[in-house]
Amino acid sequence: MNELELLAALANSPPAKTAADLIGRVCRPMADNLGQMIGEKFNAYRAKNVIDIANKSQKHVDQLQPGMHAHPKIVGQIMAQGSWDDDPFIQELWSGLLASSCTEKGDDDSNLNFLELLHGLTRLQAKVMDFSCQQATKVATPAGLIGARELRVTLTELCHAAEETDIQRLDRELDRLRVIGLLSGGLNLDNNEMVLLTPTPLALHMYVRCHGSRKNPIEFFDAKPGVLPATASVPTVRVDASK
């Protein structure tokens, strides 16, 4: 079966029809164009991934209040960027973002922050972020913000969560998570028996949205009030507007 035949078969398959219905529930303009996008913008590989992501979103979409919908820009970018991911775990995260992009007015674009982050994550990074957000003790700070207490795990636990034993790769991937602001810590150059794997507030917010929820992360995690160790403050720069 050639590429055109594959696309035609996909476009007319039951999963594609279910996907179009689900996308129509969250963004009618994109559902109307789904068949055209499959035929003109996506090859069979990407089209199947879009269909899989849409179908995985059903459990989240079913929880939405009637009439909640997402902006076409958000849905279009989820379809475009998510179409490159064939990994079921990453697809689940895309499906969560699709559902959590829905609001009553359909004009919220806050998930754009997480689309770019998710698009740039490897499967290993996504697994580690997910693991750290699950395992860390979440705290509601006095300022009303979400935070996490230091999370230290054994190297064996990290390897199990990441499904990887190559310590050099683990070191690189954790460094990357730290650079993009999703993780505090990483491997210790002198002793890697214990690994600091604390999720940042940004990671906790992303976890909530990628799991299909728009809840305040404090409510989502049922975080109890607490005080976290002080971090270095950002210096204040005063600008004289009269000059």
| Residue 233 placed within a domain | no
- From 147, 148, 149, 158, select the one nearest 194 (Cα to Cα): 158
Same domain, 114 and 127: no
| Paired strand residues for 140 | 146, 225
Q: Fill in the amino acid letter for 106.
A: G
**Domain housing 96:** 3-119
Tens-place pLDDT, residues 148-173: 999 999 999 999 999 999 999 999 99
Question: Lowest mean pLDDT: which of 5-9, 20-24, 121-125, 181-185?
Answer: 5-9
128 with 218, same domain? yes
* C-alpha span between 179 and 203 (Å, rounded): 12
* More confident call, 103 vs 24: 103
pLDDT at position 30 = 73
Residues 190 and 157 in one domain: yes
Are 38 and 93 in the same domain?
Answer: yes
- The amino acid present at 152, given as its one-letter code, is R
**What is the spatial distance between Cα 89 and Cα 112, in angstroms, rounded to a whole number?**
20
Token pair, residue 12, equals 């007319």
Q: Are residues 103 and 207 in the same domain?
A: no
Q: Residue 30 and residue 18: Cα distance in Å, rounded?
A: 14
Contact 175, 20 (CB under 8 A): no
Share of the chain above pLDDT 90, in %: 63
The DSSP code sequence of 167-224 is: HHHHHHHHHHHHHTTSEEEE--SS--SEEEEEEPHHHHHHHHHHTT--S-HHHHHTPE
- Residue 10 scores a pLDDT above 70: no
What does the alpha-carbon distance between residue 7 and residue 2 come to, in Å, rounded to a whole number? 9
Split into its structural domains, the chain has a count of: 2
d(CA 83, CA 62): 22
Question: Where residue 186 sits, what CATH number does that domain have?
Answer: 1.10.10.10
pLDDT digits 0-9 by tens, 28-43: 777 666 666 665 667 7
- pLDDT tens digit sequence for 55-93: 999 999 999 888 899 998 999 899 889 999 999 999 999
